[in-house]
Structure 1
Amino acid sequence: MPLTLAAEFLMLAALWGASFLFARLAVADFGPLPTAAMRCAIGAAMLLPVVVVRGQVAELRRHGWVAGWIGVLNAGIPFVLFTFAVQYIDTGVTSLLNATVPLFGAMVAWVWLKDRPNGSRVLGLALGFSGMALLALRTGMGSASGWALAAGLLGCFCYALAGSATRVHLTGVPAMVTAAASLVGATLVLAIPAWWLAPAHWPSASSWLAVLGLGVLCTGLAYALFFRIIDRIGPARALTVTYIVPVFAVTYGALFLGERLTSWMLGAGALVLIGTALSSGFVGLRGRARQPS
């Protein structure tokens, strides 16, 4: 991988890893739904001019309606669920949940698109779900943190559904058009409930900066960088950034929030990441070569 591409890859992982930290800082004042709505709105405001500059307005008009509704699954609902989750569980654990998106993606593609996995991918599904079960056992599913864990997993499932829906309905549409329209759609759906649930007090300066960080850095800039990487190495290789994001998220949590990384988290997280890598096809188990008869 060229040095400049590797730098962009690490920058993207760093930006998405920071999203969990910014969400934790913002949600205390704004609440989950307003935080998610502002994140979508700021990201959309950054990406729409890019679509215009690229001369893709006609594509946006043609596919915007479908992409907008898919964006509710791809941005609106997951952003709300993950912002809710970081109130009750460590940002490092939340980032590990987010890393299971390819795992759920393989499962949804198997059921919906009949994309049947091979042996190593089935093993990956089993390992990944085992890792999530271990996280759930330690978290305690009856507590507030248990509900937060469930919310994060539901957000991952929404991402997976959106991925398959994109393959079915938006194949061939420019990626930047899909991203911009998705954020616009999510913003429109979240706008009224976000206004209804807006905080009664004026949020602190740190909360405003956290929301700006979420929208500008972790959404607008990160999406633009992600699709730039896709253009250079393709979507399958670009998605491997998912495996690096938890490293940054855990580091930020330890440095800025005083979160501890336990051996249980390490073990469960390792199972999740290995299972995700196998189930997504990023790595595979080689079978023995058959001897000629």
Structure 2
Amino acid sequence: MNNTAEATLARGRDWRTPLELGVLGAIWGCSFLFMRIAAQPFGPFALVEVRLLLGALVLAPFLWKSRALFPPRRWLWLAPIGLVNSAIPFLLFAWGAERAPAAIGAICNAMTVLFAALVAFLFFGEKIGMRRAVALLIGFVGVVVLATGKSAGLSIGPAVFAGALASLLYGVGINLVKRHMTGLPPAASGAATLGCGAILLAPLAITHWPQQPIPPMAWASAIALGMFCTGFAFLLYYRLIYRVGPAIASTVTYLIPVFGALFAWLFLHEPITARMLAAGALILGSVAFSQKR
């Protein structure tokens, strides 16, 4: 084993790594709980606008510090990446949170890793391999199993479709970031893309701002969603990538559905059905199978 591999392995075994992965998984799991609470009073457009703005504000100092690396021509890519990688997926998850338990979006989110590989294969010429092809098939079966379920007698299929589409867009966004934002400070890039998303979404948020007073609990959830689950979580994720590499950092994918379903059960008393467990096992199992180790 060479020195680089040994160093990477040592970093992965650092006690901070599982702790930070657990904290990040819990934070992103919380995001689906907060969306479930706030989506109905705010509506998707207003809620996502608050989330984008607050997340961008948390990361804004990093963008200001690195502003020389962001000339006007670079913003031609930052704006569409902000839409594909933040604004539209956030909208889809918020729309789904109005219509289905929080665990649904959290489970669908796990497909992001597989969709990223699929997009890289279809549009950027990367090899996908038999392992990932089989994993994609298993993951899609899991989505179908989840989509055919019901909650309180109502179909959750539309919410599952929205969550799967959001994960597909995350997969597109990951590939765009890798090809057009390489070498840029991640936290500064996050501020830029979130800010672009907020600016582009602002007209819809203004025209769809709720007419009724928004309850304090919904406001608290929206603020936590923006500052804690978006801004602070991005910082923690980028720190993990810098310290242990993207492969280990991406394993947080396995934790988000677990925490998302657990928090919804604990705080919202939403049931965890056998179908959710089966679909979650298929989707998470497919993600695990797609990894070589």
Same fold (TM over 0.5): yes
The one-letter amino acid paired with 2:236 is L
Residue 18 in 1 paired to residue 30 in 2?
A: yes
Range moving further from structure 2, 172-181 or 207-216: 172-181
Residue 183 in 1 paired to residue 206 in 2?
A: no
**Deviation (angstroms), 1:71:** 1.0
The one-letter amino acid paired with 2:67 is V
Q: Which runs of 5+ in 2 are unaligned?
A: 1-12
- State the number of aligned residues: 278
The 8 Å contact of residues 130 and 271 in structure 1, kept in 2 or not, is answered as yes
The 8 Å contact of residues 121 and 278 in structure 1, kept in 2 or not, is answered as yes
> After superposition, what is the alpha-carbon deviation per residue over 1:38-95, rounded to whole angstroms, capped at 9, x for unaligned?
100000011011333xx31111335344123201100000001000101111111210
Residue 254 of structure 2: aligned partner: 243
Q: Which runs of 5+ in 1 are unaligned?
A: 284-293
**1:1-293 equivalent positions in 2, closer than 5 A:** 1-52=13-64, 55-61=65-71, 63-139=74-150, 145-279=156-290, 281=291, 283=293
The 8 Å contact of residues 59 and 177 in structure 1, kept in 2 or not, is answered as no
SS at match of 1:9: helix
Partners in 2 of 1:267 and 1:235 — Cα distance?
A: 28
Partners in 2 of 1:68 and 1:178 — Cα distance?
A: 11
Residue 291 of structure 1: aligned partner: none
**Deviation (angstroms), 1:139:** 4.2
Partners in 2 of 1:172 and 1:217 — Cα distance?
A: 26
The 8 Å contact of residues 49 and 198 in structure 2, kept in 1 or not, is answered as yes
The one-letter amino acid paired with 1:36 is V
Partners in 2 of 1:214 and 1:13 — Cα distance?
A: 14
The 8 Å contact of residues 88 and 144 in structure 1, kept in 2 or not, is answered as no
The one-letter amino acid paired with 2:70 is L
Partners in 1 of 2:134 and 2:53 — Cα distance?
A: 39
C-alpha distance 86-282 of structure 1, shift in aligned 2 (>3 A): farther
Q: Structure 2-normalised TM-score?
A: 0.90
What fraction of aligned residue pairs are identical, expressed as a percent?
A: 34
